[in-house]
Amino acid sequence: MSFIFLNDVQPASVYEAEPMSYRISPNSTSRTISVKLRSSVNGKPKTGILYNSAGAVASYSRDGKSPTTFTLASLASPNAAYTSGGFAEVDPVSASGLYRVDLPNAAFATGASYVMINIGFTGVISESVLVMLDNPATASSGNGTGAKSHTVNVVNSVTNAPVVAAAVWVTTDSAGQNIIASGRTDAFGVVNFLLDVGSYYLWVMDEDFLANNPTTITVS
């Protein structure tokens, strides 16, 4: 068993992007995510950003491969119908710094286990969002095709409380490109993998915590 301890997200003065993660079924279409954008000057939520604000850049990278850029487009409102590349501020008062992004369907095509979404503007902390490509309704906590069962327990480093629904995945390389197993922690902060004997790299992401990725694990 591996114990992974996550730290609570640091205050904005640290000026680090807060990790966010999603789980979406492969071949999904017309999908929307939210990203939190903050000022690179003071780390506070950045309001008033438009789809064509200075330095606008958007891309997705499947399985850690070269990024594919896409053009952001204006949405009439945060509740408007899906538009590929659509971008809109959610609410500058009640959801300061939160923005809606409509992702291209090609980002979720079969053939990849995850996709990283990258959104950036001038004067804004560049934001990356992880999307695990599997079916939330059918995926189990036992993932992988190896001969050995390996349990991972993800807990809060301060309270030791379990971290529920954290995205956890295993790679064979420290760059995180070759994912061989992935899953979500259950109500006890636990996820089980089926791995062959050997050493691997373990990654964890949750929108409310910071993790020191990757962690080396050994299956024997």
Q: What is the mean pLDDT of residues 112-141?
A: 77
Q: What is the pLDDT of residue 10?
A: 35
Winning range, highest mean pLDDT, from 55-59, 134-138, 150-154 = 55-59
Q: Which residue has the higher pLDDT, 71 or 152?
A: 71
Q: What is the pLDDT of residue 76?
A: 94
pLDDT for 199 beyond 80: yes
The whole-model pTM stands at 0.60
Q: What is the pLDDT of residue 79?
A: 93
- For the ranges 1-10, 32-41, 65-74, 160-169, which has the lowest average pLDDT? 1-10
* Cα(190)–Cα(220) distance, integer angstroms: 19
Confidence of residue 17 (pLDDT cuts 50, 70, 90): very low
pLDDT for 7 beyond 70: no
pLDDT for 15 beyond 90: no
The tokens describing 155, both together, are 């807990």
Q: What is the pLDDT of residue 129?
A: 86
* Cα(203)–Cα(214) distance, integer angstroms: 5
Q: What is the mean pLDDT of residues 118-133?
A: 87
Percent of the chain's residues with pLDDT above 70:
85
Per the CB < 8 A criterion, the answer to whether 58 and 118 are in contact is yes
